[in-house]
Chains A and B, each alone.
Chain A
Amino acid sequence: GESVGLHLPTLSVQEGDNSIINCAYSNSASDYFIWYKQESGKGPQFIIDIRSNMDKRQGQRVTVLLNKTVKHLSLQIAATQPGDSAVYFCAEYTGGFKTIFGAGTRLFVKA
């Protein structure tokens, strides 16, 4: 069935270190992938996206890597800051006007 899963439910990193959040997806036909960040009391907020014809995309302090061979997606956050503490979701557009979300990874940043 359709699913987007995450390898780790929580991740704790030291301020200033790099963070890597991983995600596995199951629908090889998906052509658009997105990472969202959700802070307490708010809805998910777009961070970065990538289309299936790419394997890497960089934003400001964030990089998304896509490995279609093993159906794996990762989000890298450089120089992690306390403000990065949140739940991160990978999401997958499978067509049919429907985006599927993974279970989420909670990122804790230690000062």
Chain B
Amino acid sequence: KAGVTQTPRYLIKTRGQQVTLSCSPISGHRSVSWYQQTPGQGLQFLFEYFSETQRNKGNFPGRFSGRQFSNSRSEMNVSTLELGDSALYLCASSLNTGSEKLFFGSGTQLSVL
């Protein structure tokens, strides 16, 4: 069974641009969560989706958004990029509720110049 797949693996953008990251969960997993990982802040929860519905959102500005498709694949978008958005963005999937163990992808490393 294939694991969680995130694309692209690396991204370099400049301030003010926007970016879209993609995540394909493990087959059969319907819950997708996104996290931002930085050396200073650790793993910060961005949002969680299930059946195309956002069920929870972390404390991030509205520039951070996401969506989930009917096949459970998910995307997150960051608009008007800032230098502080440079981070590793991790996607995790779980079977259903989010109260189960999470399976993580390898992440997308975003650098904002």
Contacts and interface: CB of A to CB of B under 8 A. Distances in A.
Interface of A: 31-32, 34, 36, 41-46, 49, 89, 91, 93, 95-104
Interface string B75-113: 000000000000000101000011101111111000000
B20 interface: no
Given A42-B106, A43-B4, A43-B106, A101 B101 contact: no
A23 to B, nearest CB: 12
A98 B59 CA distance: 12
Sorting the interface of chain B by its residue count into under 10, 10 to 19, 20 to 34 or 35 or more gives 20 to 34
B31 interface: yes
Contact of A103 (B42, B90, B102): B42
B59 to A, nearest CB: 10
A97 B102 contact: no
